Amino acid sequence: MSENKKVSAPAAEQQQKNKMGHAPMMKLIVSMSLPAIFSMLIQALYNIVDSMYVAQIGEKALTAVSLAFPVQQLLIAVGVGTGVGLNSLISRRLGEKRFDEADKAASHGMFLGLASGIVFAILGALFIKPFFGAFTGDAEVIKMGCDYGYVVTILSFGSFVQISCEKILQATGNMIWPMMFQLTGAITNIILDPIFIFGWFGMPKMGVLGAAIATVAGQILGMLLGIFVLFKKEHEVKVHFKGFRPDGKILKDIYRVGFPSIIMQSIGSFMTMGLNAILIGFSQAAVAVMGVYNKLQSFVFMPVFGLTQGLMPIMGYNFGAKNKKRLISAIKIGECIAVGIMVLGTLLFNLFPRQLLQMFNASADMMSTGIPAMHILSACFITAAVSIVFSTSFQATGHGTASLFTSILRQLVVILPVAFLLSRTGLGATGVWLAFPIAELVCIVFSVGLFRRIYDQEIRYLGDVD
């Protein structure tokens, strides 16, 4: 209580008027989500353009980058997972009017971003070459994969620190600057990709290595903008490094939600590794199709993740403020918007699979494998939307383990075993694609059940103060 008394009367009055506790819900969700959705779409466009350029080098280059994708997934899992815990903690502390603790959490977020970059630099230097050697004996694929993997891991600090800056500001309801950080990185990447890959404007032709350099250059530039804005502009939270020492309690609070989120998203990395191991037994084209799908589906899933970036602080704030009415309203509206996005994505994948694959210079083998894959894989989009919003509600209310449980169920308990078994029954690669909609059906049943349990135990007893 003594910490609350330290807050000045004007600051306290400003906090009472926080838009997350009072603004009309639909307008609030749209205003907070649109910047994130827009930046996520640019991010997805970068992913697609990046792979389109790499595909021009050849199918082996696309296979190498596809094999590297789980490494990037793991890197992003740690950054975003930590950010989810940070976002949840800051938004809850703001809702509870514990402003000094929100500031301390933000400072720890910046520290964790830098520490994560150091850890991945060491791991990348040690394990990238053995990683690629475990999947293929093709020396050309291994070399291109190492060229890409060394750069994106050893120079990953830009990504981690940028994500920390984004999550700190998003937790306060500021979605514009995080959008600008992501746009800066993505646009820089898109511009530099062809210059470094193909050697435009007098630059040396670097191929896959050039794609990696363009990626980290964008991340570092986005990080620099994030640091400038966080320290030089006025915000609802402040980052302080003078006399900073890691606080075990704050770290525990961040990772109580963040660690399950890291594990949850890391599972996606291991799932992709497992699926690549199954698919490469059929053909390199099947691995390339999986890589292309991962990039294409990001154009559908990224807007939903942008939506959840807007939903997370709204849910966390109103849960912390004990406002059940607004919390449930945010969940219902979020579910409707997410399903609408996924309906459009399902139509896109079913109506234009050939055109989508042609963007990646697809060979005849990729076409014959990829067209039916697009039809089958897109069948999981709508059910995935429902599960994603429920997962966000679990994280926002401090129940990160519930999100972890659903992710483990989907990606380890169901997808990998089902993909392995179906691929061995004569279905081949088709068995791998079928595992996705099967897993989402199982997951949505458990997500609904977990939400009902959390509602009955905690949400039901919150107030309805407007």
pLDDT digits (tens, 9 = 90+) for 439-456: 999 989 988 888 898 888
- The b-or-e profile of 82-107 (16+ CB within 10 A means b, else e) is bbbbbbbbbbbbbbbbbbebbbbbbb
For the chain, percent of residues with pLDDT exceeding 90: 36
CB 378 within 8 A of CB 440: no
Indicate the burial class of 52 (C-beta count within 10 angstroms; 0-12, 13-18, 19 or more).
middle
Q: Which residues pair with 463 in a beta bridge?
A: 323
The verdict on residue 11 lying in a domain is: no
**Structure confidence by residue, pLDDT tens digits, 398-429:** 777 787 788 788 878 889 999 999 998 888 89
CA 234 to chain centre: 27
pLDDT at 465: 53
The verdict on residue 5 lying in a domain is: no
> How many domains is the chain partitioned into structurally?
1
Residue 322 neighbours by CB under 8 Å, 6+ apart: 462, 463, 465
pLDDT at 228: 93
Query: Region 243-250: what's the mean pLDDT?
Result: 86
Residue 323 neighbours by CB under 8 Å, 6+ apart: 21, 462, 463, 464, 465, 466
Highest mean predicted confidence (pLDDT) among 86-95, 96-105, 258-267, 331-340: 331-340
Q: Provide the pLDDT confidence category of residue 464 given band limits of 50, 70 and 90.
A: low
pLDDT at 9: 42
Residue 82 has pLDDT above 70, yes or no: yes
Query: Region 293-300: what's the mean pLDDT?
Result: 87
Q: Provide the pLDDT confidence category of residue 226 given band limits of 50, 70 and 90.
A: very high
**Structure confidence by residue, pLDDT tens digits, 329-361:** 999 999 999 999 999 999 999 999 999 999 888
Cα–Cα distance, 409 to 116 (Å, whole number): 27
pLDDT at 7: 41
Grouping H, G, I as helix, E, B as strand and the rest as coil, residue 399 is coil
Chain mean pLDDT for the chain: 86
Cα–Cα distance, 1 to 99 (Å, whole number): 11
Higher pLDDT, 174 or 71: 71
* Closest C-alpha to 340, from 309, 288, 381, 378: 381
Residue 416 neighbours by CB under 8 Å, 6+ apart: 271, 274, 275, 435
Q: Which one-letter amino acid corresponds to residue 321?
A: A
The verdict on residue 6 lying in a domain is: no
From 13-27, 278-292, 359-373, the region with the lowest mean pLDDT: 13-27
Domain that holds residue 33: 21-461
Q: Provide the pLDDT confidence category of residue 161 given band limits of 50, 70 and 90.
A: very high
**Exposure on the CB side of residue 243, measured as CA atoms within 13 A:** 1
pLDDT at 222: 94
Highest mean predicted confidence (pLDDT) among 21-25, 201-205, 400-404: 201-205
The verdict on residue 145 lying in a domain is: yes
The verdict on residue 339 lying in a domain is: yes
The verdict on residue 10 lying in a domain is: no
* Closest C-alpha to 107, from 235, 293, 256, 287: 235
pLDDT at 3: 40
Residue 17 has pLDDT above 70, yes or no: no
Q: Which one-letter amino acid corresponds to residue 126?
A: L
User: Can you give the pTM of this predicted structure?
Assistant: 0.71
Number of helices (H), then strands (E), in the chain: 19, 0
* Closest C-alpha to 132, from 38, 50, 124: 124
The verdict on residue 12 lying in a domain is: no
The verdict on residue 242 lying in a domain is: yes
**Structure confidence by residue, pLDDT tens digits, 363-397:** 888 899 999 999 999 999 999 999 999 988 888 88
pLDDT at 11: 40
Higher pLDDT, 14 or 38: 38
Cα–Cα distance, 295 to 96 (Å, whole number): 39
